[in-house]
Structure 1
Amino acid sequence: MARYTGPKTKIARKFGEPIFGDDKSFEKKNYPPGQHGNNRRRGKKSEYAIQLMEKQKAKYTYGILEKQFRNLFEKANRSKGVTGEVLLQLCESRLDNVVYRMGVSPSRRGARQLVSHRHITVNGEIVNIPSYTLKPGDVVGVREKSKSLEVIENSLANSSSVYEWITWNSEKKEGSFVAVPERIQIPENIKEQLIVELYSK
């Protein structure tokens, strides 16, 4: 299964924000990576470079590779809504992202692993496809045999995030994907319009 497995802090430093979650190494070196990272006299970025950077940031944030991301954009482009907003909504509706948002895993990468290792159910059926798109009303839960897993217990104990479009029942270890989130409800710092401009060239 293709996904980015390289150094996370280096990528976070490139974008200047901890896109993979809390990162002690990033806090120590929150300047760009490389030999001249601390020397801020870098040339002005072109419009294309800024758009490309935003696209890369979105891809790394959600753990999606180029081909999948491009397909999501095509799908968003064909829909009736605002393309950039729909693109982010499609990313947010992915099963691995919702598992992460529910607090079952502390990171999207961990959530992806839980899904592919068959620990997660959708409407009572095991689904092991991280990119599975959830529909409003779908119930996402932890498989009965996996409820006592230490990684899941620890993550839920440390999770304090609450999102309006998701409900969570800690006793049953399951929650509902109530609705597709509005752009204003998505906390990610992504300028989706730049991605649309890049792909529309």
Structure 2
Amino acid sequence: MTLDDAIAALGAALAAPAQASSDFDLNAGVVLPPGRVLRPAGVLIAVQHGAAGAEVVLTKRSSRLKHHPGQIAFPGGKQDDTDADAINAALREAHEEIGLPPSQVEVLGTLPPHETVTSFTITPVLGWIRDSFHPVPEAGEVDEVFSVPLAHLADPSRYSVQSRRWRGQQRHYYTVPFGPYYIWGATARILRGLAGRMAS
């Protein structure tokens, strides 16, 4: 997917009507506790020009982390009190986790929020990386930084629904594997929503 095609497709996706998503979308019968408190967070869907054209930057979380070790994720994290909003949180965390300067990111817009099983409400921030970018993984949080062609992630046929036992119940979730990387859970769900809007 060329640079011009990617920008046009992402702009159309941002303009398309969409609803919020959650980790519970594929699990009928799940009853969410009333009065639950969700913590705000922001993640950056960072698109850059690479060898395969437009590519999305992803991370492999450190295997030493207590939560979600070794999983594939967007750069990002919880919104701190010092963050103006989820966009600021996503840009700050991307700078901390992969060394991406906020000034190098052109924010295109935000996608509908996504609720996770860990009680976060995530705002996905779409951004285009200006110029060349050489990631610097934060050793305590990130084992690897890699990129996936946007054309792969924008193709709904690349996604499948799988399941596993979680807290005594069978939980279904989206996956979108790429090479040695098993992309699943909230990351795949957010990307599946983006793919659906890009394909519409």
Q: Point out which structure has higher relative CO (alpha carbons under 8 A, 6+ apart).
A: 2
Structure number with larger C-alpha Rg: 1
Q: Which structure dedicates a bigger proportion of its chain to helix? A: 1
What is the TM-score with the length of structure 1 in the denominator? 0.28
What is the TM-score with the length of structure 2 in the denominator? 0.28
Q: Which structure dedicates a bigger proportion of its chain to strand? A: 2
